[in-house]
Amino acid sequence: RARSTAPGQQLRALFYVLPPGESSFRTVEEVPDYVEKSIPFFIAFLVLEFAVTWVQKRKLSGRINDGISSLSLGILSRLPDVLFRSVELISYIYVWNNYRLFELPWDSQWTWYLTLLGVDFAYYCFHRLSHEVNILWAAHQIHHSSEDYNLFTALRQSVLQKYTSWIFNLPMALFIPPSVFAVHLQFNLLYQFWIHTEVITNLGPLEWILNTPSHHRVHHGRNPYCIDKNYGGTLIIWDRIFGTFEAEDEKVVYGLTHPVNSFDPIMLQLRPLAHIWNTFWATPGFFNKLSVIFKGPGWGPGKPRLGLPEEIPEVTGKEVLFNPAVPGYLNCYAVVHFVVILDLYTELLGAVTMLSQGTILLRIAFIILSLTSFGLLMENKPKARILEIIRCLVFVAVYKLGYVRSQFSSLGYAYEV
């Protein structure tokens, strides 16, 4: 069995084309971190998308403020994994060790393909409920909050979502080895990166089987015909079977039906929960209060479980994107400083096993402070510049004391400047 993750293998992992012979492992410890190793390819494809859209339309595929917001949310979603193992794997291994009914061979191609289907079906079920259960939607809607649709949007993830999705994978732990599950959990996630683009229009016959950019554009639309459609991860067959499929028709307008109008990554995480909290206490009746949590986000007293379709706002084509006016120099400043934080984040991933718990927590806190500051700068909030000055002073202090390090020691003095 091949145990390396050469660039060619990593690129194929993005498209779910690493066959069983190259991606089967006896133990979980042997399974590579395909997601972390894909970071260079994420960056390369982001640049390629910018280039292609510039050639095709003479404009860029996204905006600086929205792109930084999406990347910030992506980093934020991965920070808990720095502290402890993925809850999805921990729960899966626990069930496997204590309750498995029988054990399929880890090196069988049939086990590999069965797990592909199992993981994707579990994702379909979780994804669908994430749109139909308000408390789950509060986490998942972060991924839908962008009004742009590009590869940056793929990285726009929730911190909280993984703490509910793990339940849907547990039936597989009764018979599928954790090492096989760990591979497909990553492949399913990686596959969904490249479908977040407008560059690819149609893939012909593959549209019948695979989730494609066209299908997923519908899923991200706020047009009435797009709502609650195309939940598949890798495959679109589940949507066709269960009646949630919708083909791309009129031009898709992206984002939430009620836009959040913020680039602050912490606010984007907490505002949906605050809305549920306030609605819960404002709604009379015990069972109505429970319905606020467990029925659809469009539900209200006297309405069907998923709300009334006629209450979905119509799309006029004249929607104005949330795009606060920010001076050009501030955009440049935010991009440069975000690249610095990206460097510090990737250095943290590489050095985490050698750091004390206190140092890890300090670095995570500084990264969160930085991402929050960038979000407020992109909104041109009055107090954002004061927060940014404080952040820079904190950076100089922790960098001088050695609590924060760059991958490139030669840039230390430049960072301080």
Identify the domain containing residue 220 by its residue range.
16-242
135/2: higher pLDDT: 135
How far apart (Å, rounded) are the C-alpha atoms in residues 385 and 381? 8
pLDDT at res. 219: 98
Q: What is the pLDDT of residues 50-96, one digit of tens each?
A: 999 999 888 877 899 999 999 999 999 999 888 877 889 999 999 99
Q: What is the pLDDT of residues 95-137, one digit of tens each?
A: 999 999 999 999 999 999 999 999 999 999 999 999 999 999 9
pLDDT at res. 5: 65
- Domain finish residue from 242, 276, 307: 242
Q: What is the pLDDT of residues 223-280, one digit of tens each?
A: 999 999 999 999 999 999 999 999 999 899 999 999 999 999 999 999 999 999 999 9
**319 has pLDDT over 80:** yes
pLDDT at res. 136: 97
| 141 within some domain | yes
pTM score of the predicted model:
0.93
How many CA atoms does the CB half-sphere of 55 hold within 13 Å? 7
Same domain, 238 and 333: no
User: What are the φ and ψ backbone dihedral angles of 254, each rounded to 5 degrees?
Assistant: -95, 160
Same domain, 63 and 200: yes
- Domain finish residue from 242, 264, 295: 242
Same domain, 224 and 372: no
Q: Which two tokens stand for residue 92?
A: 């899966």
| 133 within some domain | yes
pLDDT class for 1, splitting at 50, 70, 90? very low
**2 has pLDDT over 50:** no
DSSP letters spanning 58-126: SS-SS-HHHHHHHHHHHHHHHHHHHHS--HHHHHHHHHHHHH-S----TT-HHHHHHHHHHHHHHHHHH
